[in-house]
Amino acid sequence: MAHSIAGVIEPTLQAAEIRYSVERPTKDLTAYDLYLRARAVGSSYEREHLTQALDLLDQAIAREPRYGPALAVAATHRVDLENYDWADHRAGEENRRAAVDLAREALRVADDDPGVLGRAAIVLARFGEDIDAALALIDRALVLNPSFAFGWYWSGWLRLFAGQANSAIEHFETSMRLNPGGQRGFHLSGIGCAHFISHRFEDALAALRVSLEAVPSFTPTHRALAACYAHMGRLDEARTTVKRLLALTPIIVPTANPFRDPEHVELFVLGLRLAMDETT
């Protein structure tokens, strides 16, 4: 019960930190102000706003290179660019390298901060670094703060990338229980993908469709849904989903895949290829 109460309170306090500047500042108050502005701007998950947030964070880091939270948030915003297929203007691979470098530097200067640990873990895992090391980072974050709703959310994705589908679902559900006011669409996307790699296509379909109602611009969910329909033999719906994806991005099959199990990679890729048939 204490964890549940803390989990509900924590996201509210986090929002208040951004609004009222109660988070511990760096010694450079200008860097701190730039960081707070970036957190406020970047929370909308729109392309223009993410780019603006990254510019603010770059300015903060230039003033205070050892500002761990700013380094970690800058790293995860570069993951956001990748997730929404918005990284082309930052030259794709260059964006990934910058994210990994920022995450590692954040760990070097602030490895006792659960938020830094969690953000660094998701960045390193998303961009193909050592998955066991990333899991160790998120586990440490959750030991430091067992009521860390965002930590459980990131842990869900890490477990998914590692092929631990049932643990991933459990961790996404823990995050939602701790923070019932959070963005369920992203959690349900992860839950749907976990069911998908377990070949529970009906369960995957249910979660992914609800996820898209909440976050219609999240391209990974469209891909998972298209692949799911394809493996179910519902090719018309798969191709319709691909057409909706193409309205958001020209990329159907991403070059970077975070799944570590080759069978899971092949399951997604094969499903997308079946869904692409006669679509492009």
SS3 of residue 228 by DSSP: helix
* Tokens of residue 205, six digits: 């379909």
**Residue 20 confidence (pLDDT):** 38
pLDDT, tens digit (0-9, with 9 covering 90-100), for 186-237? 999 999 999 999 999 999 999 999 999 999 999 999 999 999 999 999 999 9
**What domains are defined for the chain?**
1-158 (1.25.40.10), 183-280 (1.25.40.10)
E strand or H helix at 39: helix 29-42
Q: Which residues, in sequence order, are CB contacts of 108 under 8 Å at separation 6+?
A: none
pLDDT, tens digit (0-9, with 9 covering 90-100), for 148-168? 999 999 999 999 999 999 999
% of the chain residues with pLDDT over 90: 76
pLDDT greater than 60 at residue 259: yes
Q: What are phi and psi of 24, to 5 degrees?
A: -55, 120
